[in-house]
Amino acid sequence: MAKQVQNFNAEIKQLLDIVIHSLYSHKEIFLRELVSNASDAIDKLKFQSLTHPTLLPADWAPAIRLETNPEQRLLKIIDNGIGMSQEEVTEFIGTIARSGTKAFAQLSQEMKSKPELIGQFGVGFYSAFMVADKVTLHTQKAGTSEGTVWESTGDGTYSIDSVPRPDGTGTTLTLHLKEFKTDDEVQDFTDAWNLKSLIKKYSDFIAYPIKMKNDKGEEETLNSQKALWLKSPSEITKEEYKEFYQHLTHDWNEPLKTVHYKAEGTMEFNALLYLPNKKPFNYNTRDTEFGLSLYIKRVFIMADCKELLPPYLRFVKGLVDSADLSLNVSRELLQQDRQVTQIRKNVVNKVLASLKDMLTKDRNQYESFWNEFGSTLKEGMPGDPANKEKIQDLLLFHTTSSDKMTTLDEYVSRMKADQKHIYYITGDSLSQVSNSPYLERLKEKGLEVLLLVDPVDEWVVGSLENYKEKTLQSIMKEGLELDTEDEKKQKEEERKHQTENLKPVLETLKKTLDSNVKDVVISDRLTSTPVCLVSSAHDPSAHMQRLMEQMGGQYKNPVKRIMEINPNHPVFEKMMKASPEQQSQWAEILYAQALLTEGSNLPDPVKFSQQIAALMVQAAESTKH
Ligand code: ADP
84 lines ligand 1 (CB under 6 A): yes
Which atom in ligand 1 lies closest to the alpha carbon of residue 37?
20
Ligand 1 centroid vs 581 CA: distance in angstroms? 73
What strand order describes the sheet that includes 397-399? 402-406, 397-399, 449-452, 421-426, 470-474, 466-467
List, run by run, the mean pLDDT of 10-residue segments along the chain (625 residues).
85 84 76 91 91 91 96 96 94 68 69 66 83 96 96 93 95 92 70 92 87 92 90 93 88 93 91 95 78 86 90 96 78 79 96 98 97 96 95 97 96 93 93 88 93 93 92 88 82 87 92 93 88 85 80 69 92 90 92 90 92 90 75
Q: What is the 3-state secondary structure (H, E, C) of 441-453?
A: HHHHCCCCEEEEC
41 lines ligand 1 (CB under 6 A): yes
Q: Which of 30, 36, 40, when mutated, tests ligand 1's pocket best, judged by the most ligand atoms within 8 Å of its CB? A: 40
Ligand 1 centroid vs 98 CA: distance in angstroms? 12
The pLDDT value recorded for residue 182 is 59
Provide the CB-side half-sphere exposure for 600 (13 A, CA): 21
State the Cα–Cα distance between residues 293 and 84, nearest whole angstrom: 22
Q: Under CATH, which number does the domain 487-624 receive?
A: 1.20.120.790
The pLDDT value recorded for residue 1 is 65
Ligand 1 centroid vs 173 CA: distance in angstroms? 11
CATH architecture for the domain at 4-221: 2-Layer Sandwich (3.30)
The pLDDT value recorded for residue 477 is 87
The pLDDT value recorded for residue 342 is 93
**Contact between 461 and 474 (Cβ < 8 Å):** yes
The pLDDT value recorded for residue 553 is 66
Which atom in ligand 1 lies closest to the alpha carbon of residue 123?
6
State the Cα–Cα distance between residues 240 and 253, nearest whole angstrom: 14
The pLDDT value recorded for residue 120 is 67
Which atom in ligand 1 lies closest to the alpha carbon of residue 126?
6
Phi/psi-derived region of residue 125, left when phi > 0, alpha when psi is between -120 and 50, beta in every other case? alpha
Residue nearest atom 19 of ligand 1, based on CA coordinates: 37
The pLDDT value recorded for residue 621 is 87
505 lines ligand 1 (CB under 6 A): no
Q: Which of 92, 138, 144, when mutated, tests ligand 1's pocket best, judged by the most ligand atoms within 8 Å of its CB? A: 92
Write down the domain spans for the chain: 4-221, 228-369, 398-474, 487-624
Q: Under CATH, which number does the domain 228-369 receive?
A: 3.30.230.80
Residue nearest atom 23 of ligand 1, based on CA coordinates: 38
Ligand 1 centroid vs 125 CA: distance in angstroms? 6
Q: What is the pTM of this model?
A: 0.77
86 lines ligand 1 (CB under 6 A): no
CATH architecture for the domain at 398-474: 3-Layer(aba) Sandwich (3.40)
What is the total residue count of the chain? 625
State the Cα–Cα distance between residues 386 and 284, nearest whole angstrom: 24
